[in-house]
Each structure stands twice: as structure tokens, then as C-alpha cells.
A and B are shown apart, each in its own frame.
Chain A
Amino acid sequence: MRRTGPTAAGLAVILLVAVPRVPGGQRQGGAQAPIDFERDVRPILAENCLGCHSAGRAAGGLKLTDRDAALAPTKKGRPAIVPGDPDASELLRRVRSTDPAVRMPMAREPLEPRAIETLRRWVAEGVVWPRHWAFEPVRKVDPPAPRASARVRNDIDRFILVKLEAKGIAPSPEADRYTLIRRLYYDLLGLPPPVEEVDAFAGDARPDAYERLVDRLLASPHFGERWGRHWLDLARYADSDGYEKDRARPDAYVYRDWVIDAINRDLPFDRFTVEQVAGDLLPDATSRSMIGTAFNRQTLTNEEGGVDQEEFRVNAVIDRTATLGTAWLGLTVGCARCHDHKYDPLPQADYYRLFAFFNDADEVLTEVPTGAKAPELDRRLASLQRALTARYAELAPGLLAWEADEHRRIMATPSTPLAEEPLEVLELASAAGVGTADRLGSDLCVRAGPERDRYTLTARAAAPEVTGFKLWVLPDEALPARGPGRGPDGGFVLTGFRAYVVHEGAADEPVELHRAQADYAERGFEAEAVLSGKDGGRSGWAVGGKLGQPHWIQFRTRAPLRLDGSARLRIVLDQQFGEGRALGRFHLAALTGNSRGLHIPAKDVADGLEMYPEKRVAQTRRRLLDYYVSEVVRDERARALRQEIAALLKEHGARTMEVRTIGTPLLARKTHVLDRGDFLSPRQEVEPGIPAILGSLPTHSGNLNRLDLARWLVSPENPLTARVAVNHVWNLLFRRGLVRSLDDFGLRGERPTHPELLDWLAGQFRNELGWSRKALIRSIVTSSTYRQASGYRPELVEVDPENRLLARQNRIRVESEIVRDLQLAASGLLARRIGGPSVFPPMPEDLAKLSYANSFTWKNSDGEDRYRRGMYTFFKRTIPHPNLMTFDSPDANVSCVARTVSNTPLQALMLLNNETHVEAAQALACRLLARSGDDAARLGHAMRVCVSRPATEREIASLRGVLDTARRYYAAHRDEAKSLLGRHAPPTVPAEEAAAWIAAVRVVLNLDEFITRE
């Protein structure tokens, strides 16, 4: 029983309320109200029957999902329900039976006699079975007229009052002004109201003082932060990949800022929806609308080695589909991934039709201008990027064929390790004709020579197959500054390296070399320069900065060089830089083995091609694409577009960053039903579409795409989005939704407590208010219902223990981020800058180390960033900041529609002792000590700062008790007083006094009231 979830609880209440209307045993129901299917019957079916008799399972061939299905013949060949004839209905026989082998529900407690009677009457009355309310169109509702019309501030109140009046319950009085202003500040901004504003509001006698306050707060830029964060819960927003490696996503904040901005400028919810689901497909797409699609890039990425990337791509698509269900449809569509939905009329194929919209969308990087943007640049850039993507799509078939060919070719080559084999040097000649080499074992050393030089070596390789050359440069006491070069500081510049196979009586055959690589290179003298021949042959490889030590450079052959025992090689080392910068002591070796993919000049490309296609991570796939376009097919159109983009950015002086977004894939992807949700078990192909129960999309010439889906989401044909959206807002302002199962409007979800109000609000939102989030919130918070006091009413405990009827407001413990914001704001420390890269408030070092292989360092932010709002804390999925998690932040792995609210000792410890919160106490003490006035005045001010009301005498007495005890203590322990002051010691107050104040204000900062929206 204690494990009964909230959903079941709701149904139970409905049952209890319903039962008295069904007097047991009264067979002739002449005076009775007829059975209401939704209220009376559906809960019985949902709790007791649908587990087995759903669309997916249909035990015995009986489906209790809708009337037609329920009246169809079962496996026994006849219907289980006969309308109008309970005694001929198998259903009744089964639930009435006393034989456990026959009785339904099978292997469970028998139904209550009242429930059986309800079913009997329902059948007797002809099996009235309306469609599920949530799948019906939003009704046009006229607000009712309650008797207590004086309590009506707007139409919302009418719906609430009528229900209360039906129960004979009076609403609560309006909360006092202190509570009201704090409530609005907490709900709309997530900040405490400044004391002066509280005073002004408390004394504002104008009749519209409250509405003026609401309007001012809705216009505050912090409104976007507060309500943006709510949306980010749904978007499962985080700053890292998730899974093992959990790499940082330094661009993630761009989407977070997009959300804040969209909410601040009150982007209508329909457009807000379309840009996030399909902003890339809009005909007037800009880089800004493309950022919106990052909503669906908040999915997790697994770059753990050895991962099958296709599996995790499919996982991400699954998550996008589920999130669409949660955030817009209020349906647990994810349940139909593996099988037909157990409760809702959502067959598995319908799920994959929805899935198909996202299956044909890929993770891409969009180059977005940072800072202030000219709209023209935005549009132009987006259109060029689209053209480039389209060009890539044209090239994609060739790319795939090339990748497959190369992979096959590489895998056909045996894998052997790279090894170093000696080269026997037969002869060394210097072009300048000076200085012959000393032989030092297998090393050579040229001690003196001219400004420039060229060494030509003739050598014999012992190995039959050579795949490269490695040149070691070595220090030697005989060289200037120990070498390894002959330059004045021991330096050298190797400006060229060529190799030839010597053929007797014929010209030398040049060996094609590439993939220059060195153990170290001086800046501007990289290994690649040796083969490039740039700068008139003067550029090359050097090791300045690390002279006097051995180094190496190596070159690979473009193809394995097969040599017979007598073949000789000629190797030319150019040193044309000047200043005597030629090689001193060196050693030349042949490389053998590891010839897989040797023909490809770029090693990372060869490595990528060697990987099985499904193991290539996004970065690898992108590298292969770039290489293919620019090096293999050398596509002119793509090059021109890239140049145009670069020129455009230059012209606007725009800096850009790459942002993870969603775009169309290079190759259109087909979608199949996946057997049991397994990506390795594709079954029949399906086309994109919406669940049949919700209608169908108008077809047009092309294939249906995400833009069609997005537009349907916010169309009048969709019964769910507007209801789900207003319910979400209602939940945030009352702690409970009108539909309490926020993520489940389906058959097993709860019925709305106020169905007419829900539909009225949904209609308003969509029509009269033009999808304006601010207008919707305004209409709710200006209602009398919202403005009620939140105190519990003992007399209602029995009647309405969960406050479903809203005879009062609810108290809401604020979210983790807001706990921080309130404390920092009260102490005066809060940095109010909006947006920008995520920050790193203090966190113990060892905690960050608990993530994968100590790969992550949390570098505490300094200065202003130490005190930013909680929502800007860098969210690393595997090690989220403990202050966030302690107060129930969602883990950002899946969409979160309602946070849990727990109440734990760890929260107490955090508020008492955590660095940030102790700092808040220190700073608040400073603030108070800077004010004139006696102890009582200052303590009273602390209360006004934190809980926005005058303190009671008893409260002052309690606080003064702490203050005086602390004063006595610190008078005797001055050193301890000093250590308590921390970073925020007041300059003119003795340490003992300041410390005593810190001890006292700590109590205020820990008040339940402070972190509760009342």
C-alpha cells in the first residue's frame, strides 16, 4: 500500500467519491444518475484489467481498449460483453466467480462488490464508452457562474469556485502582501524581492498594484532564466555527453541561452515548438532557429571505446521520440518501442512511424555567429550552409562506396606492427663537398661545413619490404652546444627528404613519401614542412627549444617498397635554411610493417577507414567526409561554398562557433519496426506518421518530415499539445497539474481535476492568447485562485487531503538552483549576468575524480562566475554538482516533467555547512553590520531580506539568543572568530562581533520558509 504510486492514488480517490452514487444491491436504478464511464468504469478497467487485456497482450483475445474492441468476439468465439445483458456477459461471470481458476482479475484480489455492481450497471445501461478524453478535441467551454461572484477575478476562478461550492468549501482568503510579492518573485524570477520593493508593494494602495507588479516581473530578463530552466528540464539539458567518457560540450550553453532568450521575448509557444522540432527545415531558417533544434541534441552520446555507434544513434532517436511524447503529447509513447502499448491505443507500428521522423534526422554541427548578429548574416549563412549540406548529400553515395572500398582494401592487408630496421650506409656525400662523416657505430656525424648543405646517402636495406624511413638526430659533445645540428646553438633545419631506388644503368626511381611525423617540432618548423617544399625550400623541420637531446622524424612510403637483397637506396637530406643549420650527428633507419592503409596520406583518415563502419564516432565520420570531398573527389562546388561562407563571415567580421544541432542526414534513411526494440532486428518498413488515434497528417507532394510533425503538434487538429503545455505551467504555479500525471494523459493517467478548466485554458492559450507564455502565466497568477493563502486547513484534511480542489495555494520547496540563487541574492553576492558559458562554482576536488578515469578537472570559477545563478553551473552528467543533486535536480539523462521534492539530512548539512552557503552567511552578516541600528533592527532586517516580512518578537528573541551565545563564545575564542569570517570580513567590525552575526544569520538562511514558496 505504501508503494501505491500517485497515479493509483488519484484513481482511488475518484472511486471513493464515485461509490456513494452507486448504492449496493439497488437493482432498479430509476432515480440513479447513469454510470459515467470515465469517472466510474475506466478506473476499474485501468487498474484491474488492462494489464492483460490491452492492445498488446489481449489475453484470451479480449481487448478492453475501446468499445469496438471490447465487444468483438474473443478466442471463445463470442463477445465477453453483451450490451444491456449483464448476465449473458462473460465479463460479469468472471468477476463474480468464486472459483480462483475462473475469477478475474486472475491471481489477484477479487473486485470489491461495489466495483462489480458498477460494471453490472454499465453493461446493463448499454456499455457507454466514450473515447478517452485526452484524444478528443479540446472543447469550447463557457466559464460557469459561481455563487460567490465577488471572489472572481478572472474566469479561472469561476471553474475553481464552482467545484468548491459543490462541496460546500470556501476558498482560502487572499495571502498577505508580503507573501504575495515573495510568491511572485519566487515563481516568476526565482529571486527574493528586494526589501524596498516589498515595502513599496505593501504600501501600494492602487487597485492594480498587484497586476503592475506581475507585469514588471514578466518583463524582467530573469523571467527567461526562471522559466527557461523549467523548459531545460524537459529538454534534458546538460553540458556533457553522458556515459563513460562524458566529454564536455562546450557549445551546449548556446541552446540554453536560446531558450532564455526565446522565453524573454515571449516567442509564441507554437513557433517555440516548431523551431525546436524542425527549425532546420523552416523555409526561413536562420542560424538562430537552427539552434533551437539543439533541443534534440541534448541526448546522450556514448564514445566509450568499442561502442557500436549505430546502436547509440538508434538510442538517441528513441529518446527523441520519447521526449516528444513527454514534452508535447503527454504520452508515454516510449512504451510502444518493444511491443504495442500496454494501456494506450498505440500499436508498435505507430511508435515507429513517429520514430521515423527523427530517424531521418542526424546530429550535425552548425556554424553559428557569436555575439551580436546581423539578421542578414544569419539568413545568408544558414542558406549557404544548407546548400553545402545539400551538396554533401549529393556526394554521399560516392563517399559510402569509397569508404567501403577502402575498408575492404585495408582489411585485406595483413596487420603487422611497425618496426625499425637498420639501414647499412655505404656512402655519404656532402653537396658542399666539405666534411666527411665520422662513423660512430651506425651513426654518422658531420662536424663542420658551409651555410647550406645537402647530404646524399647510399644505403642498403636488410629488410625485403620497406614502408618508411626514420631519421634520428642525436646530441654529440663535438657539436656546438652538443648539437644535434651544426648551427651555432646546436640547431638544424631539415628542409627536404627524398628517397630513390638505385637502378644500375638507369635513372634513379623516386620513392613517394608522405605522413611526415616527428617526436617534437619547433613552432613554425613542423615535420610536414619537410615534404612540402614550400618557402623556396627553406622551410623545414627543426627542434629549437629542445636542443641537445635526441629526436626523430619519420616518413612513410605511399606503398610498401619491395627490395631484393642487392637493391640500393639513395637518400637525400636537404638543409637549405642557411646559418650553418645542417645536421650534425644522425642515424637513419628503415621502417617495416604496418602497411595497412599506407596509400592514404592522412594517418587519421586511414585509421578511420580501418575501423568497422559502426564503430566510427561522429568526429571520425566527419573527418572522412571532409577528406573525401576535399582530397578524393576535390569537389569544386563544395569548395566554392566553403569559400563563400568564409568570405561572408569575414565581411561581417563575425566570429563563429560550432553548435551541436539537428539536420537532415546525407542519405535518407528508411525506418523499420524493430523487433522488441532491438536495432539489430528490423522488421517491416514504415513511413513517418502520427499515431492513428490522434488522426493523420495531410499528405503533400514530398515525404512527410519533421516540419510536418512540428506543425501538426501545434495545430488545432492535435488535442494534446495545448492541454499538456497549460498543464505544465499550471503545475509550476500550483505544485500539481490539473492532470496530476503530467507525463501521462493516456488511459492510465489521471483524469483532470478540472476538465473544463483544462480545456478552457488550452483554448485560451492557443487562440485568444496566441500561444503567449507570458499571457498565460499572467492570467493564472492574477486569479484569486493563485492569490490564496497556502496554509493547511485542518477542516479540509478529511474532505480534500491532497488539495485537489484548490481551496488554498500549495507550499512549494524551491528547486536546487533557486535554493542557491535565493541565498546568494539575500547575501548580496549573486552575480546577475544572464547567459554565457557554464561556470564552475566550488566543488571538492575528489568528487570530480569519481568520474571516468579521473579524466575531468573541475576548475573552480573565480570572480563573478563564482556567484552566478544555479542554472549556469556546468552540468556534467556523470558527476553533477552535489549541491544541485542534493536538492533533487534531474539527472538530465531523460526528459523530466516534474522534479521530485525530497527533504533529507544532506540538504540540512549543505545549507548549514557548504562553502557557498557559509559564504552567504558571511556576506549577509557584512551587509547587516554595514547598517545602522540595534540588534533587533538588524535581525529584523535579516528576516525581511530573506523571508520578506517583519519578524515576530519571538523570532527576534530566538535569533538574539544565538547572537548573544555566539558573542560570549567568540569573546573567549578570538582566533575561531577570525577563521569564521572567511572571504567577507567586514572592515570596521571586530572579528568576534562579525563571527557572532554569522552564527545568527545562518539560522535565518536555514529557515524552511526561506526556501519555500508559500
Chain B
Amino acid sequence: MQERELVCERVREMTRRYFLGVGGSGLGMAALAQLLAADDAPAVNPLAPKPPHFPATARACIFIFLEGGPSQIDLFDPKPKLNALDGKPLPESLTKNVRFAFIKKESAVLLGSRRTFAKHGQSGMEFSDLLPNLARCADDLLMVRSMHTDQFNHHPAQLVLHCGRPFFGLPTAGAWLTYGLGSESQNLPGYVVLSAGRGTSGGASLWQSGFLPSVYAGVVFRSQGEPVLNLTNPPGLPPELQRRGLDALREMNDARYRQVHDPEIASRLASYELAFRMQAAAPELADLAGESRSTLEAYGVGRPDPPIAGPQRGGGPGQYNAFATNCLLARRLVERGVRFVSLFHASWDHHSNLDAELTQNCGMADQPVAALIQDLKQRGLLESTLVVWAGEFGRTPLGENRQGYAKVTGRDHHPSAFTIWMAGGGVRGGTTYGETDEIGWTITRDPVHVNDFQATLLRLFGLDHLKLTHRFQALDARLTGVGGHVIRDWIS
């Protein structure tokens, strides 16, 4: 349909609804409001569900972002040869055209992993000893060991992972999905962000809608205070007065609508009603009283942080509990029809003290993430819910010998080969995809650019990454920039 007709249709529709609601009484208005709220016309509710391009296998996404660049060599991609070469330099031919953030090429040497790896599940997928619980989900996981990205600094690489390109002002994958498919929740935003511990380098640029309207931006659910900003009535104002005020507001806005017929007024009416429903729904969401004790324990809700030796650069106190709670909230959000849930945890940037801090972080993440997958599976949600685990890049097989470092105890940023995994949402579980060379330096089979991953993610949701576009600066911009190939082998 041409835009012009769309607009005509929209205005006719508004007029029709207006006359339906007419009658002048409060009752008529209530009927109108209900109609508007339940409306599936995008003109009124931009979050109304929209059909995908193809049949979809995924309906919701939980995107677990481990900010900083988790070490694939110590978690997912075992390299016995690297251990054997520990302390040896790399041939210059390998490092010649490589840029590093901190490593000084002249004197860098390989750093073996102290982890032990074992095969798990029927698929024999390999995990290090730091992820014993996740390892039990092996047959549900699609592990991709051949990821690569274009950026080797945090914020730019985070933009690539979330928005497809290292530029500002672009929508994130969550915004694109919400734009393309709308939200199935009547009472909650379509795209929710949960964060445990300290903030990420990318900040709000990792959940903003860029050039898409802000209705598609992620809404931050907070771990303290009210779950959504401004959700709570001012102190001393009870829900019944809020409702009474909203009724009067509706009457008055409606009267204005009848004078000027601007559909934006109808839109505003609808958004006030959704806001009111959110006021009830969001606290209900955050209230875990209805969860069984075994569920809470499975996720590890209420776990204290273990004591750790040495200076803590991680997420700060309470992150074990916060992360576990977020994983459980993610399931509750998906159950309630939320399209995209981002789980952020910063501090996987282990330039030094790798073993101690990675142990600390995995102790935090392993149990709740595994519990989330199992819980989703048990509830029949996993097949339609894509769970993603990713950092913005990986870490070097070379140890980091940064200026001023007395000892080498960590790894630098490595954009040219890293590992992510996915589960559910129609991906082929029990699959390990792609290979890296014997020290994890380069990809030797099935390289996957971040844009390919994004194209495939959209495909799981029934969207063609070439067609999900928005005209911006004279171009039909898309999540995958100018790249992206759907990887059929990932789809079951």
C-alpha cells in the first residue's frame, strides 16, 4: 500500500473509532479507550504485533551481553597446542598487520590456559571447568567458535554487536525487532533492559532506538527502587486517585480530539492507558513471591557474592544475586510477551588477573544462565525463545604485556576469532560451528561476521534482514549495514 493511502486509511480509521466512541458519556469514552488500547492498527499503537516476512521459529530473545570480551580460550575453545607453546613468541608473520589495544608486539608471548576442558552431552560439546552447569545444557546449545568483528576497542565493537556498525545513532537489534514485529505484551514495553553490577562502556547507546522512533528503544528495568522509572505514583497519591485523574484527563483530551481530530491525541490517550496498566504489571513482574523455592534456588536468587582475594574490578557488591534475579526476570518478561530482553553484565575485560576474575564471573553467570535455559525448556518456552550469550570480541592467545605491567596475567582484545553461543528459538542445539587454528589466533573454518549472526537472528524471527529497513540519510538502512548472510546451518 502506498503511504498516502495508509495515511488516508489511518485518518478514516480514527474517524470511525471516534464515532464509535461518541456519545459523550464517560462510558463511551471508556469504550473508546479500551478500543484504542486493544487496537492493532500501527497508526495508533506502533507496538501492535505485526506479521513477519516468513514463518518464525523465535518469538522472543534474551540477549546476555558479557561486556568486555570473555576469554573464549578459557571457556569454550580449548587449545592444547597453546598450552604447549606457553611463553613462546608468535611468528612475526602472524602479528604483522594486526593492531592491538595494549599488547606490545615486540615482546609479547603466548599465554596458555590454566583451565581444564571436557566434552559434555551427547554432542560432546566442550566447556571449561568454569561452566559446569552450562555444560549440562550442551545439547541445547549452538556454539559458534568462528565469530569475528571489525573493531578492537570496546565501545565501537559493542556498537557493532548491538547495532551492526560502529557508529552512533543506529537502532539496536532489539529496537529493530520491536520495530519489525511489535510487542505481544499489552502491559509491558516490548524491549526491556536489565543490568547487573556496574555499567557497560556503551551505556545507553546499547539500547537506544537510533533513527527509529523512541517507542522502539529499550526500557531499563531497575534493580533498585521502582522497576521502571516514574512507575510509582507520587507519595500520597493512591491508585484510585490516579485512575480518577486519568479519567478526567481522558475526557478533556477527548474533547480536544473532537475539535482538532489529530490522531496524535488518540495515540496519547492510548499511551496513558498503557502506562496505567504498566503501573500494575511491572511491580507484578518484579514480585518473585509467586516463584517456588526450588525455582529461586535453581537460579541462585539470594546468593551472596563469594569473598574474593585481591582488588575487585568486577561488578561491585551484590552482583551474584542481581544477575540471578535478572535471569529469572528475563523468563518472567518473556512469559508476559516481551519481545527482547537484554541482560547486561560488565567487567569481562581481563587484561590482567584473568584466572581469578574469570572464575569469579563464571561463578556468577554459570548457574543462573543454565537455570534459565532449563526453566524455559521445562515451560515449553525455549523453542520460541532465543537465548544468546555474547561479548563484543574475544581475547588474545598472547598474554598482555602492557606498558607498566610487571607480570603477564591476562589477555588483550581479540576481534578476529571469538566464541558466542545461542540456545532455543529454532537454532540447532548440540552443534559446534566453526573452527579456529590450534592456538585460537585465526578462524580456519566457517567464519561468521557479527552481521551474519544478526542476519540469522532476524531470520529466526521470520524477518529478512534485507527487507527490514528504514529510510535514513537517503539510504534504506538495516541492522546488518552493508553485510550479513543468513547461516542456514544454524537453523533446525
Is B272's CB under 8 angstroms from A852's CB? Answer: no
The complex places the Cα of A741 from the Cα of B472 at a distance, in Å, of: 10
What residues of B have a CB within 8 angstroms of the CB of A977 in the complex?
A: 236
Other-chain contact of A417, B152, B212, B271, B406 (Cβ < 8 Å): B406
Contact yes or no, B262 A792, CB < 8 A: yes
Chain B residues within 8 Å of A749, by CB: 474
Q: Which listed residue (A3, A811, A905, A1009) contacts B468, Cβ 8 A?
A: A3
**Contact present for B248 and A1003 (CB under 8 Å):** yes
Beta-carbon contacts under 8 Å, B439-473 to A:
467-473
Cβ of B212: which chain A residues have Cβ within 8 Å of it?
900
Query: Given A243-B155, A966-B244, do A335 and B475 touch, yes or no (CB 8 Å)?
Result: yes
Q: Say whether A980 contacts B236, CB under 8 Å.
A: yes
Scoring A residues 837 to 856 as 1 if CB is less than 8 Å from chain B, else 0, what string do you get? Answer: 00000001011011111100
Q: A244-B155, A851-B203, A894-B169 are in contact. Are A958 and B240 (CB under 8 A)?
A: no
Residues of A within 8 A of B231 (CB): 909, 913
B6 and A2 form a contact (CB under 8 A): yes
B237 contacts the other chain (Cβ, under 8 Å)? yes
A4–B215 Cα distance when bound, in Å, is 18
- Are A849 and B198 also in contact (CB < 8 A) when A243-B155, A343-B474, A906-B219 are? yes
In the complex, whether A209 has a CB less than 8 A from a CB of chain B is no
B259 touches A791 (CB 8 A): yes
Give the residue of A2, A850, A888, A918 whose beta carbon is less than 8 angstroms from that of B199. A850
Query: Chain B 229-269, CB within 8 Å of chain A: the 1/0 string?
Result: 11111111110111011001101110110011110110110
A7 near B100: Cβ-Cβ < 8 Å = no
Interface: B202 (CB within 8 A): yes
Flag if B265 contacts A1008 (CB, 8 Å).
Answer: yes
List residues of chain A with CB within 8 A of the CB of B469: 3
Q: Tell whether A811 pairs with B255 under 8 Å between CB atoms, given A849-B198, A912-B275.
A: no
A999 sits at the interface (CB 8 A):
yes
**CB 8 Å contact bits of B207-238 with A (1 = contact, 0 = none):** 01011111101011011110011111111111
Contact A880 B219 (CB under 8 A): no
In the complex, which of the residues A1, A741, A973, A995 contacts B474, with contact meaning CB atoms closer than 8 Å?
A741
CA distance A41 to B32 in the complex (A): 45
- Roughly how many angstroms separate A1002 CA and B246 CA in the complex, as a whole number? 10
The reply to whether B234 and A918 form a contact with Cβ atoms under 8 Å apart is: yes
- B362: interface (CB < 8 Å): no
8 A Cβ contacts from B259-311 to A: 259-262, 264-265, 267-268, 271-272, 274-276, 278-279
In angstroms, how far is the closest chain B Cβ from the Cβ of A963? 9
A902 in contact with B213 (CB, 8 Å): yes
Q: A48 CB to closest chain B CB, in angstroms? A: 13
Contact A850 B204 (CB under 8 A): yes
- Are B473 and A852 in contact, with the CB atoms below 8 A? no
| Known interface pairs A415-B107, A850-B203, A962-B248; A801-B4 also in contact (CB < 8 Å) | yes
- Stretch from B7-15, B71-79, B121-129 contacting the other chain: B7-15
- Tell me the smallest distance from the CB of B253 to a CB of chain A, in Å: 5
Q: Are B236 and A979 in contact (CB under 8 A)?
A: yes
Alpha-carbon gap, A893 to B202, bound state (A): 13
Cα distance A346–B91 when bound, in Å?
Answer: 44
Q: Which residue of B lies closest to A848 (CB)?
A: B199
Nearest CB of chain B from residue A369's CB, rounded to whole Å: 34
A49 to chain B, nearest CB (A): 15
Instruction: Decide yes or no whether A510 CB sits under 8 A from chain B.
Output: no
Residue of A306, A344, A790 touching B100 (CB-CB under 8 A): A306
Complex interface bits, B79-99 against A, C-beta within 8 A gives 1, otherwise 0: 000000000000000000001
Contacts of B272 in A (CB 8 A): 905, 908, 1006
* A276 contacts B by Cβ under 8 Å: no
Are B168 and A893 in contact, with the CB atoms below 8 A?
Answer: yes
Question: Does B153 interact with chain A (Cβ within 8 Å)?
Answer: yes
The A199-226 residues at the B interface (CB cut-off 8 A) are none
Taken together as a complex, chains A and B put the C-alpha atoms of A173 and B268 apart, in Å, by 26
> Are A844 and B473 CB-contacts (below 8 A) given A304-B154, A1003-B248?
no
Cα of A453 to Cα of B457 in the assembled complex, Å? 77
Chain B residues with CB under 8 A of A879: 199, 203-204
Q: Which of B352-375 contact A (CB under 8 A)?
A: none
Q: Once the chains are docked, how many angstroms separate the CA of A914 from the CA of B237? A: 13
Contact: A913 with B233, CB < 8 Å?
A: yes
The residue that B153 contacts in the complex, of A304, A342, A611, with Cβ under 8 A, is A304
Closest chain B residue, CB of each to CB of A959: B248
Give the Cβ gap from A929 to chain B, nearest Cβ, in Å: 17
List of B residues within 8 angstroms of A607 by Cβ = 403-404
Known: A9-B4, A743-B473, A903-B215. A853 touches B169 (CB 8 A): no
Q: Which of A903, A959, A978 is packed against the most chain B CB atoms within 10 Å?
A: A903
Tell me if A16 counts as interface (CB < 8 A to partner B): yes
User: How near does chain B come to A629, taking the closest CB pair, in angstroms?
Assistant: 25
Assuming the contacts A305-B101, A1007-B253, asked whether A907 and B229 have C-beta atoms less than 8 A apart, the reply is: no
Q: Which DSSP category, helix, strand, loop or mixed, fits chain A's interface?
A: loop
Looking at A5, A13, A880, A998, the one whose CB has the most chain B CB atoms below 10 A away is: A5
Closest Cβ–Cβ distance, residue B464 to chain A (whole Å): 11
Query: What separation, in Å, do the CA atoms of A748 and B471 have in the docked complex?
Result: 11
B3, B12, B228 pick with most chain A CB within 10 angstroms: B3
Q: With contacts A411-B106, A880-B204 known, is A903 near B264, CB below 8 A?
A: yes
Q: Does B346 contact A (CB under 8 A)?
A: yes
- With A797-B11, A902-B215 as known contacts, state yes or no: A1009 contacts B256, CB within 8 Å: yes
Asked if B244 contacts A906 (CB within 8 A), the reply is no
B471–A811 CB distance below 8 A: no
The answer to whether B248 and A4 touch across the interface, beta carbons within 8 angstroms, is no
The smallest C-beta distance from A453 to any residue of chain B, in angstroms, reads 37
Does A904 interact with chain B (Cβ within 8 Å)? yes
* Residue in chain B with minimal CB distance to A853: B198
Determine which residue in A244, A1000, A1007 has the highest number of CB atoms from chain B within 10 A of its CB, and name it.
A244
Residues of chain A in range 703-754 having any CB-CB distance to chain B below 8 Å: 741, 743-744, 746, 748-749
Residues of chain B with a CB closer than 8 A to A995's CB: 236
Check if A891 is an interface residue, CB within 8 A of chain B: yes
Q: For the complex, what is the distance from the CA of A905 to the CA of B169, rounded to whole Å? A: 22
A965 touches which one: B211, B217, B220, B241 (CB < 8 A)?
B241
Q: Contact: B8 with A1, CB < 8 Å?
A: no
Q: Does B54 contact A (CB under 8 A)?
A: no
User: Given the complex of chains A and B, what is the CA–CA distance between A335 and B167 in angstroms?
Assistant: 13
Interface pair B203/A878, CB less than 8 Å apart: yes
Within 8 A of B (CB), among A321-338: 332, 334-335
Across-interface contacts of A129 in B (CB, < 8 A): none
Would you call B198 and A854 a contact (CB within 8 A)? yes
* Nearest-CB residue, chain A, relative to B240: A969
A1 and B11: CB pair below 8 A? Answer: no
B477 to chain A, nearest CB (A): 9
9 tightest A-B CB contacts, nearest first? A5-B471, A306-B101, A878-B203, A9-B3, A893-B168, A980-B236, A244-B201, A908-B275, A792-B261
Chain A to chain B contacts (Cβ below 8 Å), 18 pairs: A6-B3, A7-B474, A13-B2, A304-B201, A305-B102, A741-B474, A743-B474, A801-B8, A802-B4, A844-B229, A846-B224, A891-B168, A891-B210, A906-B230, A909-B229, A918-B234, A958-B251, A1002-B245
Residues of B within 8 A of A (CB): 1-4, 6-8, 11-12, 15, 42, 46, 50, 99-102, 106-107, 152-156, 167-169, 180, 189, 195, 198-205, 208, 210-215, 217, 219-220, 222-225, 228-238, 240-242, 244-245, 248-249, 251-253, 255-256, 259-262, 264-265, 267-268, 271-272, 274-276, 278-279, 316, 346, 401, 403-404, 406-407, 412-413, 467-476
9 A-B pairs besides A245-B201, A335-B473, A906-B230 with CB distance below 8 A are A791-B259, A852-B200, A906-B219, A906-B275, A907-B271, A973-B238, A976-B236, A998-B237, A1009-B256
